[in-house]
Structure 1
Amino acid sequence: MKFLTLLRPKHWVKNAFLFIPLFFAGEIFNTSKLLDLAVAFFAFSFIASSIYILNDYRDMEADRQHPVKCKRPLASGTISKPAALALFVICIVAGYTLGSLVGQKFVFVLSTYFVLNLLYCVGLKDISILDILILSTGFVLRVKAGGVAAKLAISEWLVIMVFLLALFMAIAKRRDDILIKMDSGKEMRKAAKGYNLDFLNVMLALVSAVIIVSYLMYTISPETQARFHTYRLYYTTLFVIGGLLRYLQITYVENSTGSPTKILYKDRFIQLTILLWVLSFYVLIYLPTDKTFFE
């Protein structure tokens, strides 16, 4: 169980972004492509877990000062350093073995993700602003990997929206680090020196506004309407705004945005908005126009 905790399988949900290109292409029921994406999902998950292990290995001392991260296997001492390094190697081998089954282009994207996050772990995460940009780029690479695995083109709108959403969550997470620092007086990460509460609050407001405007522009763009054969996609903006407002409420009112993954697993409101957004898109994309609920 302790080794499973070190892999952070709960965070594998982030790799569901690989399936986004297939969903928006209207081919979510293409079993052949779904199988390729399933293999790609686990390849990405193992590589991501190797990064988590390396990050925990390097941050053991800092994590011991954190109210939550101190419970991680390496920080708490429940797993030895040699065992963690062995698992690190196993994850890399498993990830690249599965990735090779998907194809060379996928392996290239996977390698780009691995190298970028490797650099993040060994020093780039200590540079403010660059740290959140790298985290956000990781989600874009997931989407790119999904497109490569499914052999589908990815629109620039999709890349922009994924990047902005990931950036929004990364900023909220940094805000939580600042709150912990204010309460405990302890620096949770070196990059935190480049942030303060006012700066992060402004960034959150700015990015959330850009997300809403960008999404609305995406839904009403002629290119999008032509691709999906409907002009009604702007209806789904309601769920995007609802989800963002709830996340801002968790951030500003509840001051509890340490882990976006944890919020996704536990917050019923956000789960509902995501479900309704997916269902509305499904109805608009996959069902014939004369059978939709939006006539």
Structure 2
Amino acid sequence: MYERLEPAHRAGAVRARLGAPLLLGLVRTARPKQWIKNILVFAAPGAAGVLGHRGALLHTLLAAAVFCVAASGIYFINDATDVEADRVHPDKRLRPVAAGVVPVGVARVVGTWLVLAAIAVADLAGSPLLAGLVVVYAAITVAYSLWLKHEPVFDLAAVASGFVIRAIAGGVAAGVPISTWFLIVVSFGSLFMVAGKRHSEHLSMGDERGSHRLTLELYSVSFLRYVRSMASGIAITAYCLWAFEKNASLPGVPWFELSIVPFVLGILRYALILEAGSTAGPEEIVLGERSLQLMGLACVVFVGLGIYAR
């Protein structure tokens, strides 16, 4: 009896050994660490002071969850599309799809289903506008993978648009108007981060950067530094104008204006890290740098006091 069961037992053990790396590879390809970007979904409802309302909070949480699923789906599709280029990148070659742990076909199927699931959930939840934003987000990111990533400047705008769409989605989900200054801050703050990421890739790839991404061959360090300077300057100016506007009609402690200090210090600290030659991605820098976390917390606290302590 034991002899007849042994082959089946061995086959099950083999399937288990093969299945575990695939499952782990699928989780890694979904990039749960990148979900921190979806904190932008809470920005507009938080600035409007509606996160204390149960309905607005639930709708915002749903929007954040939808974008987590959609973003993971896009990562699967992008990794399947960029598999050959990733295999010559010093870090991206270790990604599950590039390393062969997750088959390209599986990545495409999983990615497509995740994006469709995100759109369907948003629509079934009664928010066709949110579903439409997910469609726009997916369309831009797929266009980026197939074409825009090879177009200088437009590739920066395409990546930055993903952050802007998240911020707009939060306002749409919670049903709050979005300030013009808020949109400018998010747009140029995102461009600042994206230019910083290109700077990191420029340094990490060295002379072989063009083989991974054509635009990296065309971008000089000085040009990327110029984009960061321009974007950070506009973001800081717009944030100051937003803070002055919010505080103009409110008596007492100027909490919104005080939030300018950690906002500016955070941008300067991030810029210094890039100038020091960091090759880490934006999320790695933010999660690994305690000073940035403290500046972000201080900014949130000051804005929160300005909104809720009146």
**Both structures adopt the same fold (TM-score exceeding 0.5):** yes
Show the counterpart of 1:177.
201
Cα distance in 2 between the residues matched to 1:256 and 1:106? 36
Amino acid at match of 2:25: K
Offset, 1:184: 5.2
Distance in 2 (CA, whole Å) between partners of 1:212 and 1:103 is 33
Is contact 2:185–2:236 with CA below 8 Å preserved after alignment? no
- Partner residue in 2 for 1:269: 291
For residues 199-249 of structure 1, the C-alpha deviation after alignment (integer angstroms, 9 at most, x for no partner) is 11222222222222222222223xx23576664422111101111111111
8 A contact 2:209–2:217 mirrored in 1: no
1:249 aligns with 2:272: yes
Structure 2 vs 1, CA of residues 127 and 258 (structure 1 numbering), >3 Å: closer, same or farther? Answer: farther
CA contact (8 A) 1:216 1:237 kept: yes
Match of 2:15 in 1: none
| Residue in structure 2 matched with residue 50 of structure 1 by the alignment | 73
1:193: Cα distance to partner? Answer: 2.6
CA shift, 1:183, in A, is: 5.8
Alpha carbons 2:59, 2:173 under 8 Å: kept: yes
User: Do the aligned residues in 1 keep the contact of 2:240 with 2:260 (CA within 8 Å)?
Assistant: yes
Comparing 2-11 with 200-209, which one deviates more in the overlay? Answer: 200-209
Residues matched between the structures, number: 285
Distance 1:229 1:68 in 2: 52
Q: Write the letter of the residue equivalent to 2:215.
A: A
Superposition RMSD in Å:
1.7
Is 2:124 the partner of 1:97? no
Counterpart for residue 133 of structure 1: 157
Distance 1:227 1:110, change over 3 A: farther
Query: Does the CA-based 8 Å contact 1:56-1:75 persist in structure 2?
Result: yes
Could you tell me which runs of 5 or more consecutive residues in structure 2 were left unpaired when the two chains were aligned: 1-23
Matches within 5 A, 1:81-92: 81-92=104-115
Comparing 53-62 and 210-219, the one that deviates more: 210-219
Give yes or no for the alignment of 1:18 onto 2:41: yes
Residue 11 of structure 2 corresponds to none
Q: Which moved more, 1:160-169 or 1:109-118?
A: 109-118
Runs of at least 5 residues in structure 1 that lack an aligned partner in the other structure: 289-295
Residue in 2 aligned with 1:123?
147
* Corresponding position of 1:63: 86
AA at the equivalent of 1:2: G
- Counterpart pick for 2:183 among 152, 159, 173: 159
Q: For 2:57 and 2:64, how far apart are their aligned partners in 1? A: 10
Say yes or no: does 1:233 pair with 2:295.
no
2-structure distance, mates of 1:181, 1:34 = 42
Deviates most, 12-21 or 165-174: 12-21
- CA distance in 1 between partners of 2:193 and 2:59 (Å): 29
User: Distance in 1 between the 2:151 and 2:235 partners?
Assistant: 24
2:5 maps to which residue? none
Residues 186, 89 of structure 1: alpha-carbon distance in 2 compared, 3 angstrom cutoff: closer
CA offsets 1:19-39 (integer angstroms, 9 cap, x no match): 111101111111211111222
1:214 aligns to 2:256 (yes or no): no
- Residue of structure 2 equivalent to 1:31: 54
The answer as to 2:306 corresponding to 1:284 is yes
Residues in 2 aligned to 1:229 and 1:145: alpha-carbon distance in whole angstroms: 31
What does the per-residue CA deviation read over 1:133-179, in whole Å, with 9 as the maximum and x for residues that have no partner? Answer: 11112111111111111111111111000001100000011111211
Q: Which moved more, 1:185-194 or 1:235-244?
A: 185-194
Q: 2:99 aligns with which of 55, 72, 76?
A: 76
User: What CA distance in whole angstroms lies between the structure 1 residues aligned with 2:156 and 2:225?
Assistant: 15
Relative to structure 1, is the Cα distance of residues 102 and 144 closer, same or farther in structure 2, using a 3 angstrom cutoff?
A: farther
Q: In percent, how many aligned pairs have the same letter? A: 29
Give me the whole-angstrom Cα distance separating, in 2, the residues matched to 1:13 and 1:137: 16
